[in-house]
């Protein structure tokens, strides 16, 4: 979805995006989410876009590969400025607001899909586990150790803990 600057008047526009049509079909992400966005005009060249994205990621446990749902929740605020970016003078750098993303567009258009996709990627957990104490997959025989035990784990003489216990003696 794209918003044209001309469509944004003095009254804020509220948008709800109920599907994930903003997610490209070849994305590595799988998400269901609802986005709520408010767009308002600050002046001729500046548009303020605020919103939140709430939903779920569908991914796989990094240890055992089980399907995992995790929360997607992101609040954001952008200032979209029509024009060329000016390189800030050094003394101005400190004045840049940290939590607000400012970006410049050459055409008077806001790429809402691009913003939602960026937020989904920014909020993506670095490592997803089905549970904090997931036991993972046995490196020896490949069984899921959350569900089964295997003979490999009985012979743990090669594990670092076995070596440690020998050292202590």
Task: Give dist(CA 136, CA 113) in Å, integer.
Answer: 36
Among 141, 149, 155, 156, binds Zn ion (CB under 5 A): 141
Nearer to Zn ion, 17 or 134 (CB): 134
Dist. CA 88–CA 81, nearest whole Å: 15
Nearer to Zn ion, 66 or 81 (CB): 66
Closest residue by Cα to residue 136 from 45, 71, 81, 66 = 66
Question: Binding string, 101-140, against Zn ion, x = CB under 5 A?
Answer: -----------------------------x---x---x-x
Is residue 8 within the footprint of Zn ion (CB under 5 A)? no
CA atoms within 13 A on the CB side of 95: 5
Cα distance between residue 54 and residue 155, in whole Å: 46
Interface residues toward Zn ion, by CB under 5 A: 61, 63-64, 66, 130, 134, 138, 140-141, 150, 152
């Amino acid at each position: 979805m794209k918003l044209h600057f001309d469509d944004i008047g003095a009254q804020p526009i509220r948008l709800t995006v109920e599907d994930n049509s903003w997610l490209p079909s070849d994305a590595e992400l799988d998400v269901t989410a609802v986005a709520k966005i408010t767009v308002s005009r600050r002046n001729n060249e500046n548009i303020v876009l605020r919103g939140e994205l709430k939903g779920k990621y569908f991914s796989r446990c990094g240890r055992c590969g089980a399907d995992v749902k995790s929360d997607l929740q992101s609040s954001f605020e952008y200032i979209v400025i029509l024009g060329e970016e000016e390189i800030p003078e050094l003394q101005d750098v400190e004045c840049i607001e940290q939590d607000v993303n400012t970006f410049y567009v050459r055409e008077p258009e806001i790429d809402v899909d691009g913003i939602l996709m960026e937020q989904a990627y920014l909020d993506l957990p670095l490592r997803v586990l089905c549970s904090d104490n997931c036991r993972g997959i046995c490196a020896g025989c490949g069984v899921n150790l959350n569900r089964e035990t295997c003979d490999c784990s009985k012979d743990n003489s090669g594990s670092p803990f076995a070596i440690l216990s020998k050292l202590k003696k």
